[in-house]
Structure 1
Amino acid sequence: MVYAIFSASVLLAIGAIYAGAVGWLYFRQERLLFEPDPLPADEPICTDPDTREFLLDVPGAQLSVAHLQCPNPRGVFFFLHGNSGNLKKWFVDLDAFRQANFDVVMFDYRGFGKSSSQIESEQQLRADVHKVWEHFAPMYAGKRVVISGQSLGTGLAAGLAAQLCSEGRAPDLTLLVSPYSSMRALAAELYPWVPMQVLRYPLHTLEHAAKLLGPVMLIHGVKDELIPIRHSEELCSAMHKAELLRVDGAGHSDVHQFPTVRKALMSALGRL
């Protein structure tokens, strides 16, 4: 009898701890998904004379935007960055785009860099992406458009590109670097003990990628341990006009440092 009562108490305690952990994950998962690095308002993102930064109003926030402008650009490279840092980390290596005669647009998500407020939902995050793109879209009517994302940003980029395709405005290229098939699938691999209903940011990249009408380039490090390359392989097999560049020796955070990646990017931009 005593043993049974003790066992029941232990099970109840374990259940309470588990329920508490799951509850924390549900309400605080932004802390796991996003690692923002704020910037002082007076700290420049980039000091190059052909770039400018400004704040763009969205419902409930102002988003920090950086914009490289060439004199007579062939098109625009609209880039959605990963889950950490700020634009000072991501708005770099611009000479490649100058050589290809492409403007570059990037922005910081809410709470990142100089952007105000906090991310509260996937719907809000995607709405912000669309709002920033629609601000710039009229400037590039009739020019080449590349929608790109890296890591976390790949799900957002695929969603935006799919939406543009549905509106008859398909990008000339969708570029996804270190993508995931969905955040839900990735979470199931990393945290198999967590019920998938807890995840408030499913970010179904595969669902959107299958709707893309134009060419797609996937770039993935063969040694990526955070998002295994099989995610890119699954995405590639689901799309009509996709090519996958497997970067030997590259992991997750260093893939952009490999010369083969820069060469592939320049080649892709040159073909547009």
Structure 2
Amino acid sequence: MKWIKYIAVGAVLLYTVLCSILYLFQESLIFRPRQLASDYVFERGEEFFIPTADGVNLNVVAFRKPDARGAILFLHGNRGSNRRSFRQTQALMDASYDLYLMDYRGYGKSGGEIASEAQLYADAQTMYDTLLRHYAEQNIVVAGYSLGTGMASYLAAENNPAHCVLAAPYASITAMKNLWLWMVPDFILKYPLNTVENVARANCPVTVIHGQRDDFIPYDMAEAIKQAAPERVELIPLPNEGHRGAILDPTFARTILRLIE
């Protein structure tokens, strides 16, 4: 019957349009940057910029002490900027390790725009290489929250930090897509950010902190990350916390302080 043919053609067209929209606009769905004015002054810390290989300047805020024993690199979530990271890392600012907050491209006072997974990873590596010029690698701890766990786990796989701490991590962005848009093919994604694979390759111990009431990134993704390398991954469940609670709960800071003290 012709009407069945029309419905089938219409469904295919709608599906094609949906996939095209997701491919073209996935950056605006995944990344939610907040830009800061060029003259914005952070209330604490030392601000500087690091250049990428393609000439983009990334904004960094550091909390350094003369007698620091190492460095903590914090990679934030998909919203906000270094200004939001202040609240999330306050308990680490006076630790015995220096603390570094980095904004991704288009976030805060960083230039450029995010365009690929390879670019995200390369920018994180550029920041890590900057730390290597000042600290012994065995004294560097990498920490990430939500979106930042993909880059943090990548650094753990490609380098040899002392420890990697992941708060509210996803198994992969592909797995996140499949929670709601399972009908969309995986190749549409430019940002698979496979945390499970990164952790399986990690060259250091990994601690995962995840709220069991997280209704955005399910707790079972933390369990999947644990299973990627059971002998190297410590999983700390937070029974009463949701997604944001994983980074705001005192357990996050206490865990890092336990690792460095």
Match of 2:95 in 1: 100
| Matching of residue 12 in structure 1 with residue 16 in structure 2 | no
* Paired amino acid for 1:137: L
Q: Residue 33 of structure 1: which of 20, 30, 51 is its match?
A: 30
| Matching of residue 192 in structure 1 with residue 186 in structure 2 | no
Matched residue SS, 1:100: coil
- Check whether the contact 2:71–2:131 (CA below 8 A) recurs between aligned residues: no
- Check whether the contact 1:247–1:261 (CA below 8 A) recurs between aligned residues: no
Whole-angstrom CA distance in 2 between matches of 1:124 and 1:263: 32
Alpha-carbon deviation of 1:181? 1.4
Give a deviation string over 1:148-167, Cα, whole Å, max 9, x none: 11111111111111101xxx
| Matching of residue 144 in structure 1 with residue 139 in structure 2 | yes
Whole-angstrom CA distance in 1 between matches of 2:94 and 2:34: 30
* Paired amino acid for 1:266: L
Matched residue SS, 2:87: coil
* Paired amino acid for 1:57: P
Alpha-carbon deviation of 1:95? 5.0
Alpha-carbon deviation of 1:99? 4.2
TM-score (structure 2 length as normaliser): 0.93
Whole-angstrom CA distance in 2 between matches of 1:177 and 1:123: 22
- Check whether the contact 1:63–1:114 (CA below 8 A) recurs between aligned residues: yes
* Paired amino acid for 1:114: K
| Matching of residue 133 in structure 1 with residue 128 in structure 2 | yes
- Check whether the contact 1:66–1:91 (CA below 8 A) recurs between aligned residues: no
Match of 1:167 in 2: none
Could you tell me the percent identity over the aligned residues? 33
Alpha-carbon deviation of 1:118? 0.7
Number of corresponding residues: 259
| Matching of residue 47 in structure 1 with residue 38 in structure 2 | no
Whole-angstrom CA distance in 1 between matches of 2:119 and 2:82: 20
Alpha-carbon deviation of 1:243? 0.9
* Cα 1:93/1:185, change in 2 over 3 Å: closer
- Check whether the contact 2:156–2:203 (CA below 8 A) recurs between aligned residues: no
Matched residue SS, 2:66: coil
Alpha-carbon deviation of 1:96? 2.8
Matched residue SS, 1:210: helix
Unaligned runs of 5+ in 1: 165-169
* Paired amino acid for 1:157: A
| Matching of residue 56 in structure 1 with residue 50 in structure 2 | yes
TM-score (structure 1 length as normaliser): 0.90
Whole-angstrom CA distance in 1 between matches of 2:28 and 2:247: 25
Whole-angstrom CA distance in 1 between matches of 2:90 and 2:169: 24
Unaligned runs of 5+ in 2: none
* Paired amino acid for 2:48: F
* Cα 1:260/1:56, change in 2 over 3 Å: closer
Alpha-carbon deviation of 1:213? 3.0
| Matching of residue 247 in structure 1 with residue 238 in structure 2 | yes
* Paired amino acid for 2:35: P
* Paired amino acid for 2:141: V
Match of 2:164 in 1: 174
Match of 1:153 in 2: 148
When Rg is computed on C-alpha atoms for both structures, the one with the higher figure is 1
| Matching of residue 209 in structure 1 with residue 192 in structure 2 | no
